[in-house]
Amino acid sequence: MEQRNDLILREIEKLGLLLKKLIKNIHNVDSKEIETEINQTNEVLTSEFDLPLSSIIKLNNDELLEKISNLHESHIEKLAELLHEVIKKMNQENKDYGLNRKELTKKAILLIDYIDSNSTTFSIDRMHLKNSLQLQTDVF
């Protein structure tokens, strides 16, 4: 039983590190490579979570919440951070890269609200992330 728990914890950690790497890659990418990096991020999200950016946008709120309900809380939070980074890059370049910026922003806020309602821990970082995303919605 202990080995099984260790394996699960390692998988959670591995996926968390993967999401952190995706966030870092999007954050650090230069303007010439943004579209390529978004496409690579999309491929990883599809293969690891079966959740490409296009699905995040197209799913209605209930479908998205059902899809993420099996994810670890830390992964959902990192996914929201990743969406935030993608949105920031889209805003910096004033280009949508085939994604709906407004819907992506709404979905990122939805993820944060989901975490807040299901977590026993208050997070100032989550609060700041949500505030930043809400300011983005004022831009549209």
> How much is the average pLDDT of 63-88?
96
Model pLDDT for residues 42-60, shown as the tens digit of each residue:
999 999 999 999 999 999 9
The Cα 36–Cα 9 span in angstroms is 31
CB 136 within 8 A of CB 87: yes
* Amino acid (1-letter code) at residue 125: D
Q: 22-37 burial, b for 16+ CB within 10 Å, e for fewer?
A: bbebbeebeeeebeeb
Mean pLDDT of 79-96: 95
Q: How confident is the model at residue 9 (pLDDT cuts 50, 70, 90)?
A: confident
Number of folded domains in the chain? 1
In this prediction, residue 139 has a pLDDT band, given cuts at 50, 70 and 90, of low
Range of the domain at 101: 2-139
**pLDDT value at position 78?**
97
The two structure tokens encoding residue 123: 């997070």
Of 22, 38, 31, 9, give the one whose Cα is nearest residue 99. Answer: 38
**Cα of 110 vs its chain's centroid, Å:** 11
Residue 105 corresponds to which tokens in the numbers above? Answer: 């922003």
First CA to last CA distance, the chain: 51
